[in-house]
């Protein structure tokens, strides 16, 4: 089944404790992206990647890191999480033709930083 998977689905952590949220897709997609979703603010892009070893900042990149060493994986790293990073996070992927490709979303990771 074609899908985007994220792990963990739920995470409660404390301020300053480094964490990684994994994202993997099995559709051979070039483009991958991370979003956060907050009430009243909608989905906002954190980082995206057009291909392996190519990443770029979205609208809200502060406090986050990403890497794209393999085509299928795009982990999101929070080096020193803070309470304002409590949010619902989604990974997405698309074919990546440079046109208006459909992005397919993972199931989400609900992160709480105490």
Partner 1 sequence: EDQVTQSPEALRLQEGESSSLNCSYTVSGLRGLFWYRQDPGKGPEFLFTLYSAGEEKEKERLKATLTKKESFLHITAPKPEDSATYLCAVQGNTDKLIFGTGTRLQVFP
Residues that bind partner 1 (CB under 8 A): 4, 31, 33, 40-45, 48, 50, 56, 58-59, 90, 92, 98-100, 102-108, 110
Of 56 and 79, which CB lies nearer to partner 1 in the complex structure? 56
Instruction: Report, in Å, the least distance between residue 7 CB and partner 1.
Output: 14
For residues 1, 93, 13, 61, the Cα torsion angle rounded to the nearest 10 degrees is 180
Bridge partners of residue 60, in order along the sequence:
none
Among residues 59 and 79, whose Cβ is nearest to partner 1?
59
Catalogue the E-assigned strands of 59-103.
65-66, 76-78, 87-94
The least distance separating partner 1 from the CB of residue 99, rounded to whole angstroms, comes to: 6
| Residue 70, both tokens | 């393999």
């Amino acid at each position: 089944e074609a899908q985007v998977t994220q792990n963990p689905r739920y995470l409660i952590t404390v301020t300053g404790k480094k964490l990684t949220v994994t994202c993997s897709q099995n559709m051979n997609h070039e483009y991958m992206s991370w979003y956060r979703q907050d009430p009243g603010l909608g989905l906002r892009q954190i980082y995206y990647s057009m291909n392996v070893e190519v990443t770029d900042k979205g609208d809200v990149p502060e406090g986050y890191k990403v890497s794209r060493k393999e085509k299928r994986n795009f982990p999101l790293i929070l080096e020193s999480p803070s309470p304002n990073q409590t949010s619902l996070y989604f990974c997405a992927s698309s074919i990546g033709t440079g046109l208006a490709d459909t992005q397919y979303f993972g199931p989400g990771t609900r992160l709480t930083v105490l």
